Amino acid sequence: MEEVDHLAHERNKAQFDVEAMKIVWAGSRHAFEVSDRMSRLVASDPAFRKDNRATLSRKELFKNTLRKAAYAWKRIVELHLSEEEASKLRFFVDEPAYTDLHWGMFVPAIKGQGTDEQHQKWLTLAYKMQIIGCYAQTELGHGSNVQGLETTATFDPKSDEFIIHSPTLTSSKWWPGGLGKVSTHAVIYARLIIDGRDHGVHGFIVQLRSLDDHLPLPGITIGDIGMKFGNGAYNTMDNGVLQFNHVRIPRNQMLMRVSQVTREGKYVQSDVPRQLVYGTMVYVRQTIVSDASSALSRAVCVAVRYSAVRRQFGSQDGGPETQVIDYKTQQSRLFPLLASAYAFRFVGEWLKWLYMDVTKRLQANEFSTLPEAHACTAGLKSLTTTATADGIEECRKLCGGHGYLCSSGLPELFAVYVPACTYEGDNTVLLLQVARFLMKTVSQLGSGKQLVGTTAYMQRAEHLMQCTSDVRSAEDWLKPSFILEAFEARALRLAVTCAKNISKAPNPEEGFSQLSPDLAEAAVAHCQLIVVSKFIDKIQGDIDGMGLKEQLQALCGIYALSLLHKHLGEFLSTGCITPKQAALANEKLRSLYAKVRPNAVALVDAFNYTDHFLGSILGRYDGNVYPKLYEEAWKDPLNDSVVPDGYHEYVRPLLKQQLRTAKL
Ligand SMILES: CCC/C=C/C(=O)SCCNC(=O)CCNC(=O)[C@H](O)C(C)(C)COP(=O)([O-])OP(=O)([O-])OC[C@H]1O[C@@H](n2cnc3c(N)ncnc32)[C@H](O)[C@@H]1OP(=O)([O-])[O-]
Ligand SMILES: Cc1cc2nc3c(=O)[nH]c(=O)nc-3n(C[C@H](O)[C@H](O)[C@H](O)COP(=O)(O)OP(=O)(O)OC[C@H]3O[C@@H](n4cnc5c(N)ncnc54)[C@H](O)[C@@H]3O)c2cc1C
């Protein structure tokens, strides 16, 4: 039977080259080709089916994940996939699994903090999956405060070993993914104790389970921490608990790139900064920013397509009702999210570059850009995950009642995504890290120190502290220089106000603590400026393809001006813009929504998501929503029988009783 494209009329309206936009979204033709090939490979293989996750019990769900992960590895080996291809394949399998932590944290922790010898031994095993590892930092009592971890690694000079121990209940490792049921090894973070002296938190490679029968090694207690938020969702992951009872490991299993312990028990600090112990978190936070654009774009793709299919009210002379995407309120909620998905994609690309740049410099023992890399990864991780989690939930509401069905794909996406606001650093804790960096930078203003990177704008403090915007027409708000000046002035003024208020406190720490809500807002303003400026940089670079620049300019305008509208209080109270200019920004925003409207479906098609990956009936490429929703409902296990299990025990007696009462 010929397939009908119910969204064809929308696709025909597009004013740009969708195929060219797919390349821009992917980052390069090569990245597009890899991604396209891997997504089709997964979508066409029934072994990667995922539509039944919400109805499986935890045990069935988990076993199914183990099967998929093993099968994915088999395919990776059979097809000789490169690291890039393998990682894309896992991405499209779209199921949190122990492999995420093995490849995403265990391997990077050894790479970043291990010596060449340690690489040789451990990475060789890990690359072949002859050992499976996780990243065990967080404890029951402490997650955010890494310095507060309690697990100890005491050096025993007699045996040349460390003794790993959990001295208290609160020192139990708690949360690490892959730990609960699968990992054979872990990178453990513990306090290094030598001769009674505490040298702070360091990383150690510890074997947890036997490679023969998978039983925990002597002295190790280990298990899963239990069901998490949402059916299916993140419950495919075995987040675990782990206690050590004086477990011995050889000295050479301490990760020794940053500091070493000699055979004699001497602690030696290399000339690399101690903060490199936190390096894996910097790496992962950077990847989380790109992941945010993937998760948000996925939700937006569903909401845009469905908003074009769904009709409510407005029928004229018995004609069709209005597509809900044509309601201005729908556009004002949906299009800023569409724009954010693109914005996060481009800032993610830039952050990847920044991370690679800092890594190269570190290898050459050049550490000056590390604080900025930390501030950018922490701040952008916080900003993009908060916006994405909120955005997925907004997309669910944008789909009305049907968005609440698991078959819309949105409830599961939200449940899987929302812990990103907590893991790899609670989002507020991370904003306060950015705020510390900003306060340091503000304190250097006027000292003659050249400010570079994302704080370079502060160099123009004299101008930015007193300028008022020159915007005179709605059209002016499309000029990058006006947008940038407004965002720079707002960010700087918020930061400087915080610094002034801190200086009035009895001491800086007390001031920082009192001002922390304002500091978090200043950090958000700085991070939003980074996203806006990287979007502008992207558009000003080489972009080929019919109509692409116009669409991206419109989206960039929507991203910036919708933020301006949302945070209007800050822009007005800091005096960066006037109420009249705010009204002009709103006028421009409305016209940008109208510009994006005919292109909306094509702009989400450019994400190139298969129906398998989207996992949403509402977001189907062909827009054939109603027959498929109807069909799907009948597949629910509750519909296996006409009369439900439990009727005879619990419903019939009630009805009979009512019959008796009625007779009376
Ligand atoms: C798929 C999901 C998997 C999930 C996995 C996980 O969740 S894994 C678990 C994830 N867990 C978390 O994410 C836990 C979150 N918590 C943390 O990361 C830390 O405890 C902290 C950063 C909050 C505080 O750190 P602290 O107590 O050391 O105190 P402090 O603030 O005074 O900083 C001292 C100095 O270090 C600097 N600096 C700090 N971090 C970095 C860095 N990464 N790089 C470079 N530098 C960094 C900082 O700027 C400061 O520099 P200054 O001013 O002296 O020049
Ligand atoms: C799904 C999931 C997977 C995870 N995977 C791993 C893993 O693989 N490995 C691993 O080691 N860990 C993992 N974690 C743990 C995770 O990294 C921590 O939960 C996270 O760092 C937050 O720490 P916390 O739980 O201690 O939060 P808390 O610090 O207890 O936060 C509670 C509240 O206190 C606030 N707060 C805390 N400190 C401050 C402060 N200084 N100023 C102001 N407010 C503050 C926070 O904002 C938050 O509102 C995972 C967590 C989850 C949810």
Per residue in 432-489, pLDDT (tens digit) is 999 999 999 999 998 989 999 999 999 999 999 999 999 999 999 999 999 999 999 9
Nearest CA to ligand 2 atom 16: 423
Closest alpha carbon to 603 in 3, 7, 4, 82: 7
Distance from C-alpha of 214 to C-alpha of 631, rounded to nearest angstrom:
43
Positive or negative, the CA dihedral 227, 110, 68, 416 is positive
Q: Strands 133-136 and 185-194, how do they pair?
A: parallel
Q: What pLDDT, on the 0 to 100 scale, is given for residue 660? A: 66
Cα(102) to centroid of ligand 2, in Å?
20
Q: What pLDDT, on the 0 to 100 scale, is given for residue 150? A: 98
CB 142 within 8 A of CB 199: no
Active site residues: 424
Burial class (CB in 10 A: 0-12, 13-18, 19+), 271: exposed
Closest alpha carbon to 349 in 262, 438, 289: 289
Give the number of the ligand closest to the Cα of residue 520: 2
Q: What pLDDT, on the 0 to 100 scale, is given for residue 291? A: 97
Closest alpha carbon to 370 in 479, 444, 272: 272
Ligand 2 within 6 A of CB of 428: yes
Q: What pLDDT, on the 0 to 100 scale, is given for residue 272? A: 83
Q: What pLDDT, on the 0 to 100 scale, is given for residue 607? A: 98
- DSSP symbol at 3: P
The pLDDT tens digits of the residues spanning 493-521 come to 999 999 999 999 999 999 999 999 999 99
CB 311 within 8 A of CB 321: yes
Nearest CA to ligand 1 atom 5: 424
The pLDDT tens digits of the residues spanning 304-314 come to 999 999 999 99
Cα(181) to centroid of ligand 2, in Å?
22
Pocket of ligand 1 (CB under 6 A): 100, 135, 137-138, 144-147, 177, 275, 278, 281-282, 370-371, 374, 423-425, 429, 433, 436
Burial class (CB in 10 A: 0-12, 13-18, 19+), 186: buried
Q: Residues with Cβ < 8 Å from 617, sequence gap 6 or more?
A: 405, 407, 408, 409, 625, 628, 629, 632
Q: Which whole number is the average pLDDT over 385-407?
A: 98
Distance from C-alpha of 101 to C-alpha of 206, rounded to nearest angstrom:
15
Q: Which whole number is the average pLDDT over 18-26?
A: 98
ipTM over 0.95: yes
Q: Closest ligand 1 atom, CA of 423?
A: 7
**pLDDT of 40 above 70:** yes
User: Binning pLDDT at 50, 70 and 90, where does residue 658 land?
Assistant: low
**pLDDT of 1 above 60:** no
Cα(391) to centroid of ligand 2, in Å?
21
Q: Which whole number is the average pLDDT over 653-662?
A: 77
Distance from C-alpha of 282 to C-alpha of 286, rounded to nearest angstrom:
6
Cα(278) to centroid of ligand 1, in Å?
6
